[in-house]
């Protein structure tokens, strides 16, 4: 009889171990899925950010060229006020 009871205890222990293994696998699966989602978000964020920064850079370049043009006009007007007299 003692042997039969030991078999039940072993079966229960195995069942507990299997249940714990499934719970660990499920946890790892959730972690893996969330890491994958985070990675996909970061890739998308990088792409969007690069695009927006490139657009801002183009606008900044245009503003810088316009400012340089204004600086030349102001320096010309300051050096030769007679050119702009009406």
> 75, 71, 52, 51: which is closest to 63 by C-alpha?
71
| Average pLDDT of the segment spanning 53-82 | 94
DSSP characters for 5-48?
HHHHHHHHHHHHHHHHHHHHHHHHHHHHHHHHHHHHHHHHHHHH
> 43, 51, 10: which is closest to 35 by C-alpha?
43
pLDDT digit string, tens, across residues 4-39:
556 789 889 999 999 999 999 999 999 999 999 999
The pLDDT of residue 79 = 87
The answer to whether residue 1 scores a pLDDT higher than 50 is no
Averaged confidence pLDDT in the chain: 91
């Amino acid at each position: 009889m003692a042997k039969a009871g030991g078999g039940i205890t072993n079966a229960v222990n195995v069942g507990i171990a299997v249940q714990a293994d499934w719970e660990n696998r499920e946890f790892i699966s959730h972690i893996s899925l969330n890491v994958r989602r985070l990675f996909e978000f970061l890739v998308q964020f990088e792409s969007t950010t690069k695009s927006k920064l490139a657009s801002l850079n183009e606008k900044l370049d245009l503003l810088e060229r316009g400012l340089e043009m204004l600086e030349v006009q102001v320096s010309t007007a300051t050096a030769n006020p007679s050119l702009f007299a009406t």
